[in-house]
Amino acid sequence: MDRTKLACFSLLASAFVLAALLIVRLPGILPKAQATMVDDQDRFAVMTVQTRNNQESLFVIDQVNEKLLVYDVNGSKAGPGQAGALDLVYGADLRSIFNGGGPGGGLRPH
């Protein structure tokens, strides 16, 4: 076997080893999506998710009107014994999104 073939086989073997390591280690590296609280009623589906460090967002799907609303939960701005505020940061018409209308669907992000 000449040096060129040996080099090609070595590179191919190392590529397989690196690919195997990537496949094994990738699930531990990627962040996992975690919904901390989900409530699904007749009309609304509600879910809270940590979107940034020390920031939580509330996702509301109005199943009758087919709207998605995203609120920032500002509990850290509230004083002791006070409830946090909800700020609407995004709204979308789900019919427009899923019918090829693209994101936004007529409602503008705030």
**What is the C-alpha separation between 78 and 103, in angstroms, rounded?**
32
**What is the C-alpha separation between 27 and 53, in angstroms, rounded?**
21
**pLDDT at residue 13, rounded to an integer:** 92
Q: Which residue has the higher pLDDT, 18 or 102?
A: 18
Q: Compute φ and ψ for 84, nearest 5 degrees.
A: -75, 165
Give pLDDT tens digits for 44-101: 888 888 777 777 888 888 888 889 998 888 765 555 555 667 888 889 888 888 887 6
Give pLDDT tens digits for 15-34: 988 888 877 776 666 555 55
**What is the C-alpha separation between 32 and 28, in angstroms, rounded?**
9
